[in-house]
A and B are shown apart, each in its own frame.
Chain A
Amino acid sequence: MRVPLSWLKEYVEITQSPQELAHTLTMAGLEVETLDYIGTDWGDRIITAQITHLEKVPGSDHLSYTRVNTGSGEIGVICGAPNIKEGDKVPLALPGARIGDLTIGVARKMGYVSEGMLCSPRELGLGSDHSGIYILDPETPLGVKLADLLSDVVLEFAIKAHRGDLSSIIGIAREVAALTHKPLRLPEPRFNEQGQPAAELVKVTVEDTALCPRYSARVISGVKIGPSPGWMARRLLMAGMRPINLIVDITNYVMLEVGQPLHAFDYDLVREHHIIVRRARDGEEITTLDGVQRRLRNDMLLITDPQGPTAIAGVMGSAISEVNEGTTRILLESANFRPASVRRTAVALGLRTESSSRFEKGLDPELTIFGANRAAQLMAELAGGQVHPGIVDVYPQPVEARSILFSPAEVEWLTGLKVTSRQVHEALSALEFKVEEVSAAADAFGGEQLLRVTVPTFRGDIEEGADLVEEVLRMIGYDQLPATVPEGPLPEPQSDHWFEREYEIREILIGLGLHEILTYAMTSRQRMLNLLAEVNAQTAQVLLQKPADDGQAGWVIAGAQARGGSENGFASDSREPFDARSLPAVTIANPLSNELECMRLTLLSGLMETLQENSKRNRAGLRLFEIGRRYLPRGAGELPEERRCAGIALCGPAAISWVPELARPADFYDLKGIVETLLERLHIQRYRFSAAQHPTFHPGRCALLEVGVGRPDADDGERFTPVGFLGEVHPLVQQRYDLPHRAYLCELDLEILYAAVPERLNYAPISRHQELTRDLAVVVDQQVPARAVQEAIERHGGELLRTVALFDVYTGAPIPPGKKSLTYTLLYQAQDRTLTDAEANALQERIVAALAEEFGAVLRS
């Protein structure tokens, strides 16, 4: 909402500077977004001039050459605008003038010399109109600095959704008056009524009074259509509207001034002179004034005549009964429409207008008469119109002013600000609330004085005490609020620890040299399918799999049941080419782009893409992690499941470094080491890694991590539940991301991970008895997993075997091909006595024998 200060001053005296006024209004909740100083940059080189001669420039389809009278002489100017004619008075920028970033000079073009420029409203900063040159009032003196005539200050407001009454100059003036203790001067429309009464000239039928609570119509005849007077055109321009013709401009002017949207029909084009307000029929069509044919729905309200629609109520009219050059009689509509209906219609049609944006915030039905009369007055005064007696007014249920019993004590109760009953009285009265004192006993807020407050009908937003508290606060000033500390009791601690947990993971991973990234939760199915070496219905399932909810071992496919209970619930034949669209994901109905069409099922695609982005400009390796959610679809109408996850990505060396082990590109064991350290830091003791297959990963370099949940000694025993996969990215996947080194990825389900974190730590006393160390080197087949050997050692070593640590893995001569040597150091110790060498040796022999039996292991000599 653009409010020219000069216009505002017509209704209220303003003694503050524009900045002070803007501050006063902003503090009271009417935020002035910008102060637009019109004309301060015009200088003295933009003056008024008159076109004395106009000719087409030969060889150009749009340029014309003009001679203009500058008041002190005549100069030639080339102009490309279509709207000028001889005799027009126009703004002229002389050489040396600045228009935006452009300095006007003398130019030679197509054989003419142009010694200046004629300006459009937009070039002068007067609104956005750039369709032609700004034509000045015929009475304008020549050769005068434009700044002396037209400079102004425009306050630009963002009108909040609940205050339809502020979408007008008078609405703003009312606030200014209340806040600065000045009287409000409202225009009083006065005009003569004559001729046949309106009621005999027009019939109005409102079929849906719920959507149209009031419809008021006037008839004005004998109007002359022409351009608006300069003062009106200028105000419209500064308020951001484009002058069209006098009648349309009057309706717009009154809408800006009063806040009541109006529509002028050509009376003679309204068939049978009968206005019918009704809902559209489904599929009914109308061509609106912007030339677009629109299909309507039954929940949209129309203005029609007996033969068809003439306007979409409160949104836009149609060409059928539009005011035109030949119009002489006006049927003026001043109506009130239900906000939700206008809004729904405007949103559905993608057609937001000055009118619809006012109706959807809610307008006062009492305003229609004032608006109609103000427009009738202007049509009589400016267009020579004759106003027919009376208003046809369909208003079956007049609004009743709301009355609220209000305790001034509620102000302090809610805000902590001490106010007197008198202050409350004054504040509300200034805003045109009617306030009466009512005697009462002590009320809920500890007050003894009650007020009966009658809310003006234009304040539909005021419904109860809290609303009145805000009004009082606005008038007294938010800056009067004291600042205190809440002294109420603290709540019971609650059990959601996820905030702390996620930061615990963050701190651990950062400590391991990983950088945290934060990617979009929106992605596309195709971007996620890029993670699969081979894409088919079978492999795509991994994107949907999640640990079983009940803590049972294994994975389940998210949403499979809702999709029909089959094994995976989507697609069937893995030999068919896979259609990305068949991948179930939470789809966004109105995405910003195809790249952001659904919610992610995995963090890994964002990690891979971030590796790719950064590898272009980063010679050192990359070590990244993200903590966020996977969004797994559930049944239709259900909110999706949001699973908390951590994803890790490594690619290349830890650093550019002279230290060889830091300069070495990351490998599988770097990633696994990170995961193991994470487990250690979380004190998770029961976990296992095993070789696994996953379509994102190298088939020989992928592990599944499972953690033990439940207790080994519980009835249902300990179960291992999957947490996630880690591995080297499959070369076919790697190719798609164009990375300079092999990439390693891991995605962990934090909810399962934390289920395995022990509730408390168990301390075991340190044994004071001597410990015995034995080394053990065995040769086994290459295929034997190290974990199996270690577990066997632990099992057979029993309680007295305190720790086992692998310290060498060796292949090559003299170890036979196909074999590997594993060397462990074992530490034996008893809690209650000193072990003898013989005991340790016996255990060691038992272990060797067991390894020989289970794995064919032989001692390495």
Chain B
Amino acid sequence: MIEQLDALLAQLDALQERALRELETINSSAELEDWDVRYLGRHRGELKNFSTLIPKLGKAERPVIGQKINAVKEKLESALEARRQELRDRELREALERERLDVTLPGRALPAGHMHPISRTILEVARIFTRMGFQVVQGPEIETDYYNFQALNIPVDHPARDMQDTFWVVPGEILLRTQTSPMQIRVMQTTRPPVRVIVPGKVFRHEAIDASHEAMFHQIEGLLVDERCTMADLKGSLARFAREMFGEDRRVRFRGSYFPFTEPSAEVDIDCILCKGSGCRLCKYSGWLEILGSGMVHPRVLREVGYDPHKYRGYAFGMGVERIAMLKYAIGEIRLFSGNDLRFLRQF
């Protein structure tokens, strides 16, 4: 009996060894299931065959064999489970490998649009001044002689009209506005101080078009009127604008000038953004760049709109948007703005 027992135990060991060896060679889940049925199957599995022998064994041998069968079973089951997991992992790895993409191919994004640099510049300027309490208004682009000139202290036959060659619709009466300043008058005529507005918009000059002249361009007008504003406030406001627009270390310089609708008038320069004031071609070796014209609203203009010039004070300024954009983005030619070449527009 002992011999029989030992033989059975040896057979079980051999079975276990064979099954484990075989398991290692298995590469698919189908083979794995086949192996499972062959060795561990509940009906005809090889281990089951041993179990059927148990009742034929002696009382003493039965538990020995039973335990051995269980030990082999556990061993094979855990080996199966480990192998199964291994295969699952490998199959997932292979599936992921098959799905590999070329992530360097361009994405399926819709191409982005771009804002015109003039619109972008106007928006930037407007944001700076709206943070200072200004409101944005717009006005008619086709104006009367009265609003564009006369109310701004530029009477008929005044030589200041030379500064602004005019496109006429009805000569002497209706024109394409040469400046955004007529909105100064329209705003003051319809509101009472305090006034704080900026006016962006198109303006027109009868000029031959070349690298630095356009027949249509854009201006931003600013106007502040209240009972306490001074030219020092003008300087402070524009210094803040210059810093926000052109960089924190920008310096602002005021110098004397003449505009018919301001008194005193000032030209405003910033130190050159390229050479920081040491002199270069951009600033014509002066170290300074002219950015806008400004001044205190002329008492005649205040009287024209019914404001008492001894009670109210105001400042006004006007800047060329193209000029600001050219300085800000180092653009050398004004014609690019109306040229609408996409190679240019896409850069903004």
Report the Cα distance A520→B236, complex, angstroms: 36
Does A657 lie at the interface of the complex (its beta carbon under 8 Å from any beta carbon of B)? Answer: yes
- With A163-B258, A414-B231, A658-B106 known as contacts, the answer to whether A496 contacts B338 (CB < 8 A) is no
Report A804-824 CB contacts with B as 1/0, cut-off 8 Å.
000000000000000000000
Assess whether A514 is in contact with B113, with CB atoms less than 8 Å apart: yes
Does A274 lie at the interface of the complex (its beta carbon under 8 Å from any beta carbon of B)? Answer: no
Within 8 A of A (CB), among B133-163: 133, 135-138, 140-144, 155-160, 162-163
Assess whether B194 is in contact with A488, with CB atoms less than 8 Å apart: yes
What A residues does B112 contact at CB under 8 A? 510, 513
What B residues does A622 contact at CB under 8 A? 342
- With A444-B310, A493-B135, A518-B118 known as contacts, the answer to whether A642 contacts B140 (CB < 8 A) is yes
B346 and chain A: residue at smallest CB distance: A515
What B residues does A654 contact at CB under 8 A? 110-111
Highest count of chain A CB atoms <10 Å: which of B194, B264, B266, B313? B264
What A residues does B137 contact at CB under 8 A? 494, 496, 499
B255 and chain A: residue at smallest CB distance: A27
- With A520-B216, A592-B209 known as contacts, the answer to whether A466 contacts B235 (CB < 8 A) is no
Smallest beta-carbon distance B326→chain A, Å: 15
Does A62 lie at the interface of the complex (its beta carbon under 8 Å from any beta carbon of B)? Answer: no
Interface residue from B157, B224, B254, B263 paired with A478 (Cβ < 8 Å): B254
Assess whether A637 is in contact with B170, with CB atoms less than 8 Å apart: yes
Does A162 lie at the interface of the complex (its beta carbon under 8 Å from any beta carbon of B)? Answer: yes
Does B212 lie at the interface of the complex (its beta carbon under 8 Å from any beta carbon of A)? Answer: no
Report the Cα distance A596→B174, complex, angstroms: 17
Report the Cα distance A476→B90, complex, angstroms: 88
Interface-facing stretch out of A105-113, A186-194, A581-589: A581-589
Size class of the B contact interface (CB-based, 8 Å): 35 or more
Report the Cα distance A344→B341, complex, angstroms: 42
Report the Cα distance A589→B168, complex, angstroms: 5
Report the Cα distance A162→B200, complex, angstroms: 28
Assess whether B255 is in contact with A516, with CB atoms less than 8 Å apart: no
B132 and chain A: residue at smallest CB distance: A486
Report the Cα distance A485→B233, complex, angstroms: 5
What B residues does A511 contact at CB under 8 A? 113
Assess whether B338 is in contact with A415, with CB atoms less than 8 Å apart: no
Report the Cα distance A92→B126, complex, angstroms: 60
Assess whether B236 is in contact with A484, with CB atoms less than 8 Å apart: yes
Assess whether B105 is in contact with A658, with CB atoms less than 8 Å apart: yes
Assess whether B138 is in contact with A474, with CB atoms less than 8 Å apart: no
What A residues does B194 contact at CB under 8 A? 488-491
Report B188-210 CB contacts with A as 1/0, cut-off 8 Å.
00010111110010101010110
Assess whether A586 is in contact with B169, with CB atoms less than 8 Å apart: yes
Does B323 lie at the interface of the complex (its beta carbon under 8 Å from any beta carbon of A)? Answer: no
What A residues does B230 contact at CB under 8 A? 412-416, 484
B123 and chain A: residue at smallest CB distance: A503
B105 and chain A: residue at smallest CB distance: A658
Assess whether A484 is in contact with B118, with CB atoms less than 8 Å apart: no
Interface residue from B136, B215, B260 paired with A592 (Cβ < 8 Å): B215
Residue pairs across A and B with Cβ atoms less than 8 A apart, 7 shown, are A485-B237, A486-B236, A491-B135, A499-B138, A510-B114, A518-B119, A631-B142
Known: A470-B256, A494-B137. 12 other contacts (CB 8 A): A339-B157, A478-B253, A486-B226, A489-B194, A500-B136, A515-B346, A520-B338, A589-B170, A614-B341, A622-B342, A639-B144, A654-B110
Residues of A at the B interface (CB closer than 8 Å) are 26-31, 160-163, 339-341, 343-344, 357, 360-361, 412-417, 444-445, 464-467, 469-470, 473-474, 478-479, 481-491, 493-494, 496, 498-500, 503, 506, 509-522, 586-592, 596, 599, 610, 613-614, 617-618, 620, 622-623, 625, 629, 631, 637, 639-640, 642, 654-655, 657-659, 662
Pairs of residues from A and B, 5 with the lowest C-beta to C-beta distance, nearest first: A29-B256, A416-B232, A488-B226, A470-B264, A416-B230
